[in-house]
Structure 1
Amino acid sequence: MPGTPPPPQTTPFTVRAPASSANLGPGFDSLGLSVPLYTTLRVTPQATTQVVPLGPELDGTPADESNYVYRAMQLAATRAGRPLPPARIEIETDVPLARGLGSSAAALVAGIVAGNELLGRPLDDLAVLDVAAREEGHPDNVAPALFGGIVVATLDKLGTHYVRLDPPAHLGVTVLIPDFELSTSKARAVLPKEYSRADAVHALSHAALLAAALAQGRLDLLRHAMQDYIHQIWRAPLVPGLSDILEEAWKHGALGAALSGAGPTVLCFHDTREPTAPLHAYLHGVMKRNGLEGRVMDFPIDTAGTLVDRDA
């Protein structure tokens, strides 16, 4: 019958949403890619609501309806105009928190998708993206977390719009994840309120070149296209060694380098046909010179985005 809402889900299911790296240099608040680290929800419909954070990454997070994941599930219910059915929600993540790898976006997207699933999927993918982007205030992390791959997206009063790109052949990601946290609010607070026309033109031209280079697989252009004067130079004092990496990583095998989101993680692109040992050695050396510890990891770009397993 037209207009009849779908019935709620009555059997257990699992939702898995990936981490993400936003901006990629000049694509401030509009460009990102997904990384194969995941936030996973196991949802079991039942008579009462239980929120169960699991694992060391989630120590200290609320085990009640104030949990961010549960509040994200409620966002789906609000958009759908229906009450959220009760369920047991188990939450796990291997996305490091406050590191610039989209931990909040992964939790947000996983929660909205889980809430939508629990309601019987009244919202389509574009509505899910719009709910997530409006909650975050920008789509650069939530779009790749939802759709996977590389995503260019905009958010305005007319809606949320995106183009998803499959990663170019042979493009891999190396991330340097320092062992300290940096809040997005602190990283945003150092940005200027106004920019010069020259900086605006630089940002627009380089963001356009980066999107075109990624679309056409022009790996040779990434180092030039990833230059940025909008946010990285202002955030560099918050991330020791960042300026060196942005200027020098290409000498050690990186195709290009950028601060991942608000940081402190730094992302380097690499050619998967080439060894990454020299790049790893360089990045570890930068950390050591700055008195830091952390991890250097190689990843493919996640292309699946958020997945729902209804056979859980």
Structure 2
Amino acid sequence: MSKKWQIIVPGSTANLGPGFDSIGLSLNLYLELTVSLADQWEIIHVSDHLPQDIVIEEHLIYTIAKETAARFNKELPPCQIVMRSELPYARGLGSSAAAIVAAIELANLVCELQLTIQDKLNISSQIEGHPDNATASVLGGLTISQMNEQGIVDTIHVKDLDASFVVFIPSVELKTSEARKVLPDQLDRSYAVRASANANMLAASLISKDYERIGQYMESDLFHEPFRSSLIPNFDEILCAAKEAGAYGTALSGAGPTMISIIPNAIGDQFVFTMKNRFPTHEIILTKADHQGVSAKILNDVLT
């Protein structure tokens, strides 16, 4: 008999404006793996969002799962993995972080690593290089995080945000590595003080669930959006149209090119209808925060 597992990981948005590399929010858009032990490696993609031509040795799930097992002196056994994803690649919705978190969970299950939540936070954030998307995918909800020089993550976890979120997904990709190239190496001190104060106010507003202020400070970023906005299709138009239609606020989702609005629950359907008519070239999706984070279960015992 051989076990078969299901791993589900939420996607995420990061930054929410000035919360640069530290604030993450999980969304109810998911990456799903169905895993069983096998004689040789096989990874099957069954979603349009996933590429079809990646060799096993270069696949992110394989490389991260193998690396995670090796950290604990374990050898990863061959698996068959069926992948489904609602997360478009390189659009700012945490697709790579979700894959990293899924791969860590895969190694945890098949190698019986018995990882703690803190282990998962540390390993995923170390691999990502920053803790925003990764912590949100591990924990669910909203996370405000810091990773020290030793790679240890400290997170404040905010649950039950009473709002909806709308993502504006353009047809173009924007890799985070490319979006980082336009950022300045240094900021003037007075400019940095204002940017930091805005980030502090966003974090405080999120913790206190002051939605008007959340929207205000989402739109007050000075760390990255002023430098990236020219890379984003319809950036200014979406910002203005969303506000006119009742959004609390709008910001880049991660490094972009997707944008995200936080809106009152009551206007969700009408808001999406209005935005779809206004921006027909974008995929516009109404979402909520995911509150579970990464989850795994044994599906059944299957004959080998």
TM superposition score normalised by structure 2: 0.92
Aligned to 1:23: 15
> For structure 1, which segment, 47-56 or 132-141, has the greater mean C-alpha deviation from structure 2 after superposition?
47-56
Structure 1 residues 117-132: aligned runs within 5 Å: 117-132=109-124
Mapped to 2, the partners of 1:137 and 1:284 lie a distance apart of 38
1:196 equivalent among 188, 194, 205: 188
Aligned to 2:32: 40
Mapped to 2, the partners of 1:280 and 1:81 lie a distance apart of 52
Structure 1 counterpart SS, 2:3: coil
Cα deviation, 1:256-296, whole Å, max 9, x if unaligned, reads: 110000111100000102355246524652x36xxxx1211
Give 1:224 deviation, angstroms: 2.1
Aligned to 1:274: 267
Does 1:305 pair with 2:297?
no
Give 1:119 deviation, angstroms: 1.0
TM superposition score normalised by structure 1: 0.90
Give 1:57 deviation, angstroms: 2.0
Mapped to 1, the partners of 2:268 and 2:76 lie a distance apart of 49
CA contact (8 A) 2:216 2:248 kept: no
Mapped to 2, the partners of 1:88 and 1:240 lie a distance apart of 38
Q: What is the identity, as a one-letter code, of the residue corresponding to 2:282?
A: G
Structure 1 counterpart SS, 2:57: coil
Cα deviation, 1:88-112, whole Å, max 9, x if unaligned, reads: 1222212111111011111111111
Aligned residue pair count = 298
Mapped to 1, the partners of 2:129 and 2:25 lie a distance apart of 17
Q: What is the identity, as a one-letter code, of the residue corresponding to 1:208?
A: N
Percent of residue pairs bearing the same amino acid type: 32
Mapped to 1, the partners of 2:127 and 2:119 lie a distance apart of 12
Does 1:138 pair with 2:133?
no
Structure 1 residues 76-87: aligned runs within 5 Å: 76-87=68-79
Give 1:137 deviation, angstroms: 0.7
CA contact (8 A) 1:19 1:95 kept: yes
> For structure 1, which segment, 93-102 or 48-57, has the greater mean C-alpha deviation from structure 2 after superposition?
48-57
Structure 1 residues 159-238: aligned runs within 5 Å: 159-169=152-162, 171-226=163-218, 227-238=220-231
Structure 1 counterpart SS, 2:291: coil
Runs of 5+ unmatched residues, structure 1: 1-8
Q: What is the identity, as a one-letter code, of the residue corresponding to 1:16?
A: I
CA contact (8 A) 2:170 2:233 kept: no
Give 1:56 deviation, angstroms: 2.4
Aligned to 2:144: 152
Mapped to 2, the partners of 1:130 and 1:165 lie a distance apart of 19
Mapped to 1, the partners of 2:186 and 2:157 lie a distance apart of 30
CA contact (8 A) 1:270 1:276 kept: no
- Change in Cα spacing, 1:217 to 1:242, as seen in structure 2 (3 Å) is same
After superposing on structure 2, the runs of 4+ consecutive aligned residues of structure 1 that deviate more than 3 Å are 244-248
Aligned to 2:246: 253
CA contact (8 A) 1:253 1:279 kept: no
Runs of 5+ unmatched residues, structure 2: none
Structure 2 counterpart SS, 1:57: coil
> For structure 1, which segment, 239-248 or 33-42, has the greater mean C-alpha deviation from structure 2 after superposition?
239-248
